């Protein structure tokens, strides 16, 4: 078997370059990772990061500061804007970046065929707990009068983006996870079946994080799943 790591559950030490990471729990004052292909190439195009949720928020802030803030419109333009979103907001751009990485990290058909040819029969895939029924790279625009391509990326406001493509962590109000599209995982499993490869889906992260380390998804915050997961919804 072989491990297909840091695809659906990011760990910073895969993306630190030549310097390497000194430990799995990279010190919270030292954001180690500095690249995320294909859109986020180095620290000049986005934030350094040390966990998945840290990266998502960092990308949002990066796009918020680099996106034009000119919102001057005529009355007619404002009427049109009420009917059709015209720009992708910071959250939409951040989700697009992460999903573009996921779709380009492996060429499923080529890589799984190569794995089969090497005699490998099983793959392990670490996964985030946060999933969605929506695919951010194939949202169909049904209203043709908008003039947008049919497979255009999420032309929706950031509130809707967060509802459809992120999970708010139940233990940290300011932590959001980038959701994994369910159809994308199904596509992967079908391709595994095509080549006779067994797949173990490893639920690698949990809400609030399960242990200290960048792989928890919430680092540099400390994990709270085991210490807070059994707290009643209403305390008496």
Averaged over 142-169, what is the pLDDT? 68
Q: Between 209 and 29, where is the model more confident?
A: 209
Q: Between 50 and 78, where is the model more confident?
A: 50
SS3 category, 114: helix
pTM: 0.81
Q: pLDDT tier at 38 (50, 70, 90 boundaries)?
A: low
Residue 230 clears pLDDT 70, i.e. is over it? no
SS3 category, 224: coil
The full 3-state SS of 17-84, as one line of letters, equals HHHCCCCCCCCCCCCCECCECCCECCCCCCCCECCHHHHHHHHHHHHHHHCCCCCCCCHHHHHHHHHC
SS3 category, 110: helix
Averaged over 140-156, what is the pLDDT? 48
Residue 148 clears pLDDT 50, i.e. is over it? no
Residue 196's nearest CA partner among 108, 102, 113 is: 113
SS3 category, 209: coil
Residue 236 clears pLDDT 60, i.e. is over it? no
Q: What is the mean pLDDT of the chain?
A: 79
Residue 27 clears pLDDT 90, i.e. is over it? no
Q: pLDDT tens across 186-220, in order?
A: 999 999 999 999 999 999 999 999 888 888 999 88
Q: pLDDT tier at 39 (50, 70, 90 boundaries)?
A: low
CA distance linking residue 206 with residue 5, whole number of Å? 16
């Amino acid at each position: 078997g072989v491990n297909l790591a840091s695809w659906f559950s990011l760990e910073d030490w895969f993306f630190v370059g030549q310097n390497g990471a000194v430990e799995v729990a990279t010190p919270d004052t030292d954001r180690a990772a500095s690249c995320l292909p294909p859109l986020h190439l180095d620290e000049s195009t986005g934030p350094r990061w040390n966990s998945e949720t840290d990266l998502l928020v960092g990308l949002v802030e990066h796009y918020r500061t680099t996106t034009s803030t000119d919102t001057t419109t005529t009355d007619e333009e404002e009427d049109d804007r009420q009917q059709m979103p015209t720009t992708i907001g910071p959250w939409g751009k951040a989700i697009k970046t992460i999903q573009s990485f996921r779709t380009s990290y492996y060429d499923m058909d080529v890589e799984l065929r190569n794995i089969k040819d090497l005699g490998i029969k099983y793959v392990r895939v670490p996964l985030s707990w946060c999933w969605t029924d929506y695919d951010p790279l194939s949202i169909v625009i049904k209203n043709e009068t908008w003039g947008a391509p049919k497979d255009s990326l999420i032309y929706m406001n950031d509130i809707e983006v967060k509802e459809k493509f992120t999970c708010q962590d139940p233990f940290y109000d300011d932590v959001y996870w980038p959701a994994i599209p369910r159809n994308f995982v199904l596509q992967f499993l079908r391709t595994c079946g095509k080549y006779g490869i067994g797949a173990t889906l490893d639920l690698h992260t949990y809400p609030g994080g399960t242990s200290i380390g960048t792989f928890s998804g919430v680092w540099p915050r400390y994990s709270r799943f085991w210490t807070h997961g059994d707290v009643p919804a209403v305390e008496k």
